[in-house]
Amino acid sequence: MFSSLKDKVGQVLLPGDEFSFDTEDTISLTTPVKPEKVVCGPGLRRSGTDCRCVKAASCDTKLPTFCTHNTQHQRHYVPVKGETVIGIVTVKSGDIFKVDFGGSEQASLSYLAFEGATKRNRPNVQVGDLVFAQFVVANKDMEPELVCVDSGGRANGMGVFGGGGLLFTVSLGLVRRLLSPQSDLMQDLQKLFPCELVVGMNGRLWVRSSSTQRTLIIANLLQSCETMTAPQRKALFARVAEGTL
Amino acid sequence: MKETPLSNCERDFLLKAIEEKKRLDGRQTYDYRKMKITFGTDYGCCFVDLGKTRVMAQVSCELVVPKESRPNEGIMFFNIELSPMASPAFEQGRQSELSVKLNRQLERCLRNSKCIDTESLCVVSGEKVWQIRVDVHMLNHDGNLMDAASIAAITALCHFRRPDVGIQGDEVTVYSPEERDPIPLSIYHMPISVSFSFFQQGTYLLVDPCEREERVMDGLLMIAMNKHREICSIQSSGGIMLLKEQVMRCSKIASVKVSEITELISKALENDKKARKAGERCGFAESMPQERITALKTYETPVEMTDVSDRANDIVQKAEAPPQMVPSPVVPVPGVGQVGQGLQNTWGLEEGDEEEEEENDSSDEDQEEQVTEMKEKQHEKMEIRGGDVVEISDSEEEEVVILHPEIPDKAPITKSSSHQKGAAALKKRQKK
């Protein structure tokens, strides 16, 4: 099965193309056969036994069993339940806040969805503040809803934040690269200089460092990382590290 | 679509950075962004890139009846279009305040300064004159649209060639470009606008503001000047109070910038003229830089094309006329429907999140246990029915979950999404 997958790597697939796996009809009875599992990444949708592409991109196989579409350069975010995003509060009306997260409509955030918030003890949230929240309702039929607590009622890093830092947007692919468990990008960044970084899966990043200059440097570095190969990036980071030290 | 709101933290950071004389992209206070001027295949088509701001101007001409008050002068018509492509804040069709302001500024800058000799546009006095129309389209808005628009407009006018006209007695012949070479317009001078943005009540000044800087600025001063240091137009907006010295200083800065920009424009026009003479391929396709998204991409990406024509023929032959009636329609019970599930996170990164399940999921687990035994029966029934089964939901669900396990034999089989919060039972019924 994997041979057919490997052939497809690098090919451009358009929406509607079938992404079929040629399974062998005969299974050997003598040798032990392990069931092969392939995970479909974003951009592929399953319907019955075949897999169809939904986004136009080139095919990319990461691990042996993980097959994904390269939709790195997309910038428009579609809300997905459970993902944490950075939102900007736009309207404060009665019991809920309206938060803009860069999607097609604004999400609602209840004032009770903060750690330790009660009817008497309201959270201190103003219009224009940044919030780090996760989606509890995110589908195409309903207005998306955010909360700043996890299922146990703890904030877990979420909530209002943002004094003194800089907010900027990058592509969704870069955000995934930053958040992936073994990320070269993150390791390179850690070697540079100490900074606070909040990563929202809607493509928004917030940085704060010891001085304005450093904050601007990190912001520009991250924005330029989108279009650089790994060696170019390492060279650039090394130059910056020498320069500021 | 509404524009992304500006958060308080961005505003504070930008103002603080400006106080420390730092700009977001590392420019100095009086620096312009990288400017690039390219031309299209037609005469009169010009693209201007000012950093990420991108603007296109196109000049065209037409023979019309002149105005009664000015029978021997041609007509100049300017139009700026704010395309929704440029920014989510621009809406198609509506004349927003910004659009009116830009139009007015461009008109004052180019028309009132009399940079074009309109009398040379006259063909037959009182009857036929040339109407020159300049259309400027905003392709990407990253700040300072006015400067980019003025540069594009004047460059396009310099680049434009109008058809040659011959008059013999009463007859007027307009020659096509193949018969006689088209003639350039007669332009006296090139007015170019330079924008200054002010912050903190006029304390700090920045030239060529980018989009973020424009959002936090207090006011804007636009000075249109030509390289002979003649001011063509000044406009101050935002209601800030400016001192005389500040305005004088700005005009000095503007004259320096204008001479640099005029030089750039003349060089670009020269290059284009040379390229056209040499017969080189010039124009839109060639002038687009190879803008690579990522260095890893190769130009030729293989697309599975081998069986495209066969498949297309297949599809055309096999396609039947769409049926008027659906054989076994699925009718939802009046009053119920299914709300979509939404996408699931398919990147496989957050393995930890699977442990943190929402509490409302546990209520569904009870149902699922009862339901698993019913699944096999459901599968049998599905197979029997074969072609009658109609999938109506586009949710990602694999299994069909039955809500009423105590009546397995009865016809109504209901589906439900396993992640629904308690309350309403959403059902779909299928006719056997």
> Does residue B398 belong to any structural domain of this protein?
no
> Does residue A76 belong to any structural domain of this protein?
no
CATH code of the domain containing A120: 2.40.50.140
CATH code of the domain containing B193: 3.30.230.70
> Does residue B350 belong to any structural domain of this protein?
no
Residue in this structure with the two tokens 């100490």, named with its chain if needed: A194
Looking at the complex, report in whole angstroms how far the Cα of residue A245 sits from the nearest Cα belonging to chain B: 19
pLDDT at A37 over 90: no
**Domain check: are A173 and A208 in the same one?**
yes
Among chain B residues, CA nearest to A71: B347
Looking at the complex, report in whole angstroms how far the Cα of residue B145 sits from the nearest Cα belonging to chain A: 21
Chain A interface disruption, residue of B21, B27, B346, most A CBs within 10 A: B346
**Domain check: are A138 and A170 in the same one?**
no
Question: Domain total for chain A?
Answer: 3
> Does residue A77 belong to any structural domain of this protein?
no
> Does residue B306 belong to any structural domain of this protein?
no
> Does residue A44 belong to any structural domain of this protein?
yes
pLDDT for res B3: 78
Question: Domain total for chain B?
Answer: 1
CATH code of the domain containing A43: 2.40.50
Whether the CB-CB separation of B413 and B371 falls below 8 Å is answered with no
Instruction: Report the distance separating Cα B72 and Cα B122, nearest Å.
Output: 6
Subunit contact A129:B8, Cβ cutoff 8 A? yes
Among chain A residues, CA nearest to B296: A229
**Domain check: are A185 and A129 in the same one?**
no
pTM of the model: 0.72
> Does residue B7 belong to any structural domain of this protein?
no
**Domain check: are A89 and A151 in the same one?**
yes
Looking at the complex, report in whole angstroms how far the Cα of residue A176 sits from the nearest Cα belonging to chain B: 9
Any chain B CB within 8 A of the CB of A156? no
pLDDT for res B421: 39
**Domain check: are A232 and A172 in the same one?**
yes
* Residue from the list A213, A219, A227 with its beta carbon closest to the beta carbon of B295: A227
pLDDT tens for A85-121 read 999 999 998 889 999 998 888 999 999 999 888 888 8
pLDDT for res B201: 84
> Does residue A215 belong to any structural domain of this protein?
yes
Token pair of A114 as six digits: 């903060």
pLDDT for res B260: 93
User: Residue B269 CB: number of other CB atoms within 10 A?
Assistant: 16
> Does residue A230 belong to any structural domain of this protein?
yes
Instruction: Report the distance separating Cα B405 and Cα B244, nearest Å.
Output: 85
Count chain A–chain B contacts defined by CB atoms under 8 A.
Answer: 128
Any chain A CB within 8 A of the CB of B339? yes
* Residue from the list A66, A78, A151 with its beta carbon closest to the beta carbon of B343: A78
**Domain check: are A156 and A176 in the same one?**
no
Residues 137-176 of B with CB under 8 A from A: none
Q: Is B164 exposed, middle or buried (0-12, 13-18, 19+ CB in 10 A)?
A: middle
Subunit contact B5:A90, Cβ cutoff 8 A? yes
Report helix, strand or coil for B22. coil
pLDDT for res A109: 94
All residues of chain B having their beta carbon less than 8 Å from the beta carbon of residue A216 are 17, 22, 24, 26
Subunit contact A151:B10, Cβ cutoff 8 A? no
Any chain B CB within 8 A of the CB of A165? yes
**Domain check: are A157 and A182 in the same one?**
no
CATH code of the domain containing A173: 3.30.1370.10
> Does residue A79 belong to any structural domain of this protein?
no
Note down the domain range covering A52: 3-70
> Does residue B384 belong to any structural domain of this protein?
no
User: Digits of tens for pLDDT over chain B (432 positions)?
Assistant: 577 888 999 999 999 999 999 898 888 899 999 999 999 888 899 999 999 999 999 999 999 999 999 998 999 999 999 988 888 888 877 668 889 999 999 999 998 899 999 999 999 888 899 999 999 999 999 989 999 999 999 999 999 999 999 888 888 888 888 888 889 999 999 999 999 999 988 889 999 999 999 999 999 999 999 999 999 999 998 878 888 999 999 999 999 999 999 999 999 999 888 888 876 555 555 545 554 433 344 455 556 666 677 777 777 777 766 656 655 556 656 666 666 666 666 665 544 433 333 333 333 444 444 444 444 444 444 444 444 444 455 555 555 555 654 544 443 434 433 334 333 333 444 343
Region for residue B344 given its phi and psi (left: phi exceeds 0; alpha: psi -120 to 50; beta: otherwise): beta
pLDDT for res B389: 47
pLDDT for res B419: 39
Please name the residues in contact with B414: beta carbons below 8 A apart, sequence gap of 6 or more: B402, B403, B404, B425, B427, B428, B429
pLDDT for res B431: 40
pLDDT band at A173 (very low <50, low <70, confident <90, very high): confident
Task: Give the residue from A112, A145, A161 where a domain finishes.
Answer: A161
Q: Which of B28, B24, B29, B60 is nearest to B42 (CA)?
A: B60
Subunit contact A11:B302, Cβ cutoff 8 A? yes
Task: Give the residue from A48, A70, A92 where a domain finishes.
Answer: A70
Residues 178-217 of A with CB under 8 A from B: 179-181, 206, 212-213, 215-216
Task: Give the residue from A70, A94, A129 where a domain finishes.
Answer: A70
**Domain check: are A170 and A157 in the same one?**
no
Among chain A residues, CA nearest to B11: A166
pLDDT at A69 over 70: no
pLDDT tens for A141-169 read 899 999 999 888 888 889 998 788 999 99
Token pair of B61 as six digits: 């001409």
Among chain B residues, CA nearest to A79: B343
> Does residue A75 belong to any structural domain of this protein?
no
Any chain A CB within 8 A of the CB of B299? no
**Domain check: are A157 and A90 in the same one?**
yes
Note down the domain range covering B56: 26-286
